[in-house]
Chains A and B, each alone.
Chain A
Amino acid sequence: MTERGTVFLVLVLAALGAWLWLSRAPRPASAPPAAPLLRVPAADVARVELAEGDERVVAVRRDGAWADAAGRAWDAAVVADLIETLRGLAPIMVVDAAPADPADYGLGPGATRLALAGARGERLLALDVGERNPAWTGLYVRVDDARAVVLVGAVLRWEMEKLRDARPGGKP
Chain B
Amino acid sequence: MNGFRFGLAALAAVALVCGRGGPAAAAGDEPWTLDANNWQEGKDLLPEPVLKRLQKGEYWFKVVPVDPQKFHHNYSQAFWDATAANEGKYDVEPKQCGLRDKSTGKIPVFVFGLPFPKIDKNDPQAGCKIAHDFNFAGLQGGGGGATFTLNGVDSGGQFRRVKAFLHTQGFQGRHFGPLKDNPENLQGQALGGAIEPLDVEGVSTLTKRYWDWESQDALWAYVPSTRRARRVNASTRSDPVAGLDIFADDLNCYAGKIEYYRWKLVGEQNILAPVLQPYPFPAKPVSPTRQIIETPYMPAGYEVPNAKGAPWWIQQNLVFIPRPVWVVEGQSSDPYYNFGKVIMYFDKEMFRIYWKMVHNRAGEYFYTAMCGYHFVKNDETFSAVFPNLVVGVNDKTNRSALGGRYQSSFLEQHWDPAYFSLRTIAHMTD
Contact = CB atoms under 8 A, between A and B. Distances in A.
Interface of A: 77-78, 81, 85, 88-90, 92, 135-138, 152-156, 158, 162, 165
Contacts of A88: 363
B108 interface: no
Contacts of B52: 136
Given A77-B264, A153-B362, A155-B359, A136 B341 contact: no
B395 A135 contact: yes
B363 A155 contact: yes
Contacts, number: 53
Nearest to B395: A135
22 contacts: A77-B124, A78-B266, A81-B264, A89-B362, A89-B363, A92-B364, A136-B48, A136-B49, A136-B365, A137-B364, A137-B395, A153-B360, A153-B362, A153-B363, A153-B364, A154-B359, A155-B341, A155-B363, A158-B341, A158-B359, A158-B365, A162-B267
Q: Which 8 A-B pairs have the closest CB atoms?
A: A153-B363, A154-B365, A155-B363, A153-B364, A137-B364, A155-B359, A89-B363, A137-B396
Given A135-B395, A135-B396, A137-B396, A92 B362 contact: yes
A45 B362 CA distance: 22
Contact of B365 (A77, A153, A165): A153
A121 B65 CA distance: 54
Contacts of B343: 158
B215 to A, nearest CB: 28
Give the contact-size bracket for chain B: 20 to 34
Contacts of B264: 77, 81
Given A136-B48, A136-B52, A158-B341, 10 more contacts: A136-B395, A153-B359, A153-B363, A153-B365, A154-B365, A155-B359, A155-B364, A155-B365, A156-B363, A158-B343
Given A136-B49, A158-B343, A85 B363 contact: yes
Interface of B: 48-49, 52, 124, 264, 266-267, 340-341, 343, 359-360, 362-366, 395-396, 398
Contacts of B48: 136
Contact of A138 (B49, B266, B341, B364): B364
Contact of A137 (B124, B266, B341, B366): B366
Contacts of A85: 363
Contacts of A78: 266
A152 B365 CA distance: 10
Contacts of B363: 85, 88-89, 152-156
A77 B365 CA distance: 21
A165 B267 CA distance: 9
Contacts of A154: 359, 363-365
A158 B52 CA distance: 16
B328 to A, nearest CB: 13
A162 B268 CA distance: 12
Contacts of B395: 135-137
Nearest to A88: B363
Contacts of A155: 340-341, 359, 363-365
Contacts of A89: 362-363
